[in-house]
């Protein structure tokens, strides 16, 4: 645990790409064959991929975009559940120089149309079930989103109609498997735009906040001092949130992957006992949640540290962690919850 925080020395290179930094950076190192991500889906089961596999799949996704004539700076709107496809699309788009637009699976068709219009998205990456539920409404309002040309479907059981209301609809998996050779990642400048995150819209319509590729480097003081990663073991970080939230995009995706750590996420019903079961199953060493999750774990389970011995510490953000919860947590688990403001 850090007790001293020396002055941070910034080293921002002229060229930097988040997609490359979270994947290709580990090729040729021992981390290449380490598990980069594990997804526990209540319906689809367990899936995982190594850093080498993630590097290849993001290269293929970038090439899919090139074949669709996506240009540098074009927006790629991502509306996906927690899945391996999320980092493939999010990081792969940035690899080719496009701008990723991560969004929530809670978005309605009307909200997807609004964000597609506001961002000028050229591509929408969406799971097949969600597309089936909102495709009719979206295609009826294509005049509002003239930039949108391509739909890439994930988790699909059958091939879609190739042309829906003028949109080119493809299965992402088929498009990736059709890639025979990949071009190199675009050499973005550190100041080039990388991803566009929308606010929650509590004071009106959501507003886009554009992040440069250097934003990942800007997170490193927090990644160093807040995460407190171990140097003598492969930390396995379990996050209880969804990738569309900037808290999760950073602490549960980009930060760990950049540093070669393993990410574990869940898709399904939020259940206090489930988090304990998954920590045990995957031997997570760091758990990240919000205060509500910690209150649920205290109130709805009788767990102690003996049941989750792999955990080194916990992390919290998103809302204030009360002194009462922290005190009860320390008493029950004998471990700290490292809190950040946000």
Whether residue 221 is predicted with pLDDT greater than 80 in this model: the reply is yes
Residue 291 lies in a domain: yes
Residues 101 and 240 in one domain: no
Identify the pLDDT of residue 222.
80
Whether residue 203 is predicted with pLDDT greater than 90 in this model: the reply is no
Residues 269 and 189 in one domain: no
**Could you report the per-residue pLDDT of 18-40, keeping only the tens digit for each?**
999 999 999 999 999 999 999 99
Residues 90 and 143 in one domain: yes
Residue range 40-60: mean pLDDT, rounded = 97
User: Hey, is 74 helix, strand or coil?
Assistant: coil
> Sorting pLDDT into bands at 50, 70 and 90, what band is 17?
very high
Alpha-carbon 100 to chain mean position: 11
Residue 38 lies in a domain: no
Residue ending a domain, choose from 174, 190, 212: 212
Residues 174 and 258 in one domain: no
Q: In whole angstroms, give the CA distance from residue 331 to residue 271.
A: 22
Its pTM stands at: 0.94
Residues 90 and 67 in one domain: yes
Residue 311 lies in a domain: yes
Q: In whole angstroms, give the CA distance from residue 297 to residue 117.
A: 40
Residue 86 lies in a domain: yes
Q: Which CATH number is 304's domain given?
A: 3.40.50.980
Number of structural domains (the chain) is: 2
Whether residue 202 is predicted with pLDDT greater than 70 in this model: the reply is no
Residues 278 and 252 in one domain: yes
Domain span at residue 282 reads: 219-339
Average pLDDT, the chain: 92
Residue ending a domain, choose from 169, 194, 212: 212
For 270, the token pair is 């939020």
> Sorting pLDDT into bands at 50, 70 and 90, what band is 1?
low
Residue 122 lies in a domain: yes
Residue 254 lies in a domain: yes
Contacts of 203 (CB under 8 A, 6+ apart): none
Residue 41 lies in a domain: no
Identify the pLDDT of residue 6.
79
Residue ending a domain, choose from 212, 236, 269: 212
Q: Is the CB of residue 131 less than 8 Å from the CB of residue 78?
A: no
Q: In whole angstroms, give the CA distance from residue 264 to residue 235.
A: 11
Residue 292 lies in a domain: yes
Q: In whole angstroms, give the CA distance from residue 24 to residue 33.
A: 12
Residues 133 and 269 in one domain: no
**Could you report the per-residue pLDDT of 128-148, keeping only the tens digit for each?**
999 999 999 999 999 999 999
Residues 156 and 177 in one domain: yes
Whether residue 163 is predicted with pLDDT greater than 70 in this model: the reply is no
Residue range 203-211: mean pLDDT, rounded = 86
Q: In whole angstroms, give the CA distance from residue 84 to residue 49.
A: 8
Residues 289 and 313 in one domain: yes
Residues 163 and 240 in one domain: no
Identify the pLDDT of residue 317.
84
> Sorting pLDDT into bands at 50, 70 and 90, what band is 220?
confident
Residues 305 and 191 in one domain: no
Residues 197 and 302 in one domain: no
Q: What share of the chain is helix, strand, coil (3-state, %, to 5)?
A: 40, 20, 40
- 126 to each of 102, 134, 135, 150, 240, how far by Cα in Å? 11, 11, 11, 11, 21
Element (H, E) at 115: helix 109-119
DSSP per position, 10-49 = ----SB--HHHHTTGGGTTSGGGGSEEEEEEETTTEEEEE
Residue range 104-133: mean pLDDT, rounded = 95
């Amino acid at each position: 645990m850090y007790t001293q925080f020396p002055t941070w020395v910034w080293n921002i290179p002229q060229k930097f790409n988040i997609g490359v930094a979270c994947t290709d950076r580990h090729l040729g190192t021992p981390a290449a064959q380490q598990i980069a991500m594990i997804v526990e889906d209540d319906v689809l089961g367990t899936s995982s991929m190594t850093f080498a596999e993630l590097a290849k799949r993001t290269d293929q996704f970038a090439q899919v975009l090139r074949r669709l004539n996506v240009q540098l700076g074009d927006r790629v709107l991502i509306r996906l559940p927690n899945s391996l496809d999320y980092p493939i699309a999010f990081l792969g788009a940035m690899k080719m120089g496009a701008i990723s637009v991560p969004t929530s699976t809670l978005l309605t068709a009307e909200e997807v149309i609004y964000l597609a219009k506001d961002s000028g998205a050229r591509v929408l990456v969406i799971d097949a079930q969600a597309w089936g539920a909102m495709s009719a409404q979206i295609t009826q309002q294509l005049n509002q989103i003239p930039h949108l040309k391509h739909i890439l479907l994930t988790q699909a059981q059958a091939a879609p109609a190739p042309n829906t209301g003028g949109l080119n609809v493809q299965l992402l998996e088929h498009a990736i498997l059709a890639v025979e050779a990949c071009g190199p990642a675009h050499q973005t400048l550190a100041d080039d735009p990388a991803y566009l995150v929308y606010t929650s819209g509590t004071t009106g319509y959501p507003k886009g906040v554009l992040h440069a590729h250097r934003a990942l480097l800007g997170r490193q003081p927090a990644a160093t001092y807040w995460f407190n990663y171990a140097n003598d073991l492969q930390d396995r970080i379990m996050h209880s949130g969804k990738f569309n939230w900037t808290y999760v995009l950073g602490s549960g995706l980009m930060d760990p992957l950049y540093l070669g750590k393993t990410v574990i996420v869940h898709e399904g019903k939020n259940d206090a006992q489930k988090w304990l079961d998954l920590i045990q199953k995957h031997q997570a060493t760091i758990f990240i949640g919000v205060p509500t999750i910690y209150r649920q774990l205290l109130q709805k389970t009788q767990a102690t540290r003996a049941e989750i011995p792999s955990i080194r510490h916990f992390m919290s953000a998103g809302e204030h962690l009360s002194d009462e919860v922290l005190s009860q947590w320390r008493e029950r688990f004998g471990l700290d919850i490292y809190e950040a403001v946000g």
